[in-house]
Amino acid sequence: MAVIIDGKKSAAKVTDAVGEAAAVLEREAGIKPGLAVVIVGNDPASHAYVGAKSRMAKQCGFHSMQYTLPEATTQDELESLVEKLNADPAVHGILVQLPLPRHLNSEPVIQSIRPEKDVDGLNVVNAGKVASGDLASGLVSCTPAGAMLLLRNQLGADLSGMNAVVIGRSNLFGKPMALLLLAANATVTMAHSRTKDLPGICRQADILVAAVGRAQMVRKDWVKPGAVVIDVGINRVDAPEKGEGATRLVGDVAFDECADIASAITPVPGGVGPMTIAMLMANTVVAAYRSVG
Ligand code: GUN
């Protein structure tokens, strides 16, 4: 049976350190880290994530600002808000929750966030730094940074000689995750919906990272014995065993059966999810420190 990687515990260590760093910055420089989270529309899952981010920002001692915009918000209105937040010295981090409603184009919005305030690490400046191997001077996307921290706790900093397979190629996760694994000297394969023999490719992975958005897609015969499995999926499925109409969260990995094969595995919930929020706090406090002088 695999070690079950405790993302909540690792996240709490990060947020404790962030809270201490924030207190020092406020005491020594009179600066309270400010995080502005913007959400457009009524998607319940997005509201739940944003609520968790805002609450954690408060817990870390930040100035936490949440902008809840109606579904009918226009592209111009959203971009004007980002401009206002870009210009506000009390705001050190800006996060626009994705996905946006279908009538809005997320790319120009994300690219209009000043790179120094882009705590999601999605601006081309920050994404480009990660791609060119500079992991220090910009801001790294939160979910891959959090997944890497969990991997390093399990395997150490250097992943030389390990085969890593990332399923999913999004800008938000798959691409930066693959680049961070590469920077740690892993041999990396990026797999996706057009990959041939996905189970066979996955079976070669010492590190298997799933971010496809399909409930329990990764089965036990996809997992190499002893592999470390990182599940980035968050999918809501029916749970008739909990009563009529009840639901529960599951990952992209069939947890119970894969836990019999892997050496370590992240659960959903309680694995990568809490790390995303913790790394967002870490990015925000870093952005606030860099704003000094
Ligand atoms: N939606 C799901 N995950 C994320 C994230 O990390 N950042 C943003 N902005 N939106 C998301």
Residue 34: the pLDDT is 98
Q: Is 6 a catalytic residue?
A: no
- Our answer on whether the CB atom of 276 is closer than 6 Å to any ligand 1 atom is yes
What is the bridge-based pairing of β-strands 235-238 and 247-250?
antiparallel
Rounded CA-CA distance 112/267 in Å is: 35
What is the bridge-based pairing of β-strands 163-167 and 264-265?
unpaired
Residue 4 C-alpha to ligand 1 middle, in angstroms? 24
Residue 186: the pLDDT is 98
Q: Is 84 a catalytic residue?
A: no
Which residue from 277, 286, 173 is spatially nearest to 230, judged by alpha carbons?
A: 173
Domains of the chain by range and CATH?
A: 29-114 (3.40.50.10860), 142-273 (3.40.50.720)
pTM for the predicted model, two decimal places: 0.97
Q: Is the ipTM of this complex over 0.90?
A: yes
Low-confidence ranges of the chain (pLDDT < 70): none
Taking each helix axis from N to C end, the angle separating 142-155 and 272-290, rounded to the nearest 10 degrees, works out to 110
- Our answer on whether the CB atom of 142 is closer than 6 Å to any ligand 1 atom is yes
Q: Is 53 a catalytic residue?
A: yes
Beta-strand runs (E) in 59-118: 63-69, 93-96
Residue 273 C-alpha to ligand 1 middle, in angstroms? 11
Pocket test for ligand 1, best of 120, 122, 123 (most atoms within 8 A of CB): 120
Pocket test for ligand 1, best of 97, 112, 235, 275 (most atoms within 8 A of CB): 97
Residue 152: the pLDDT is 97
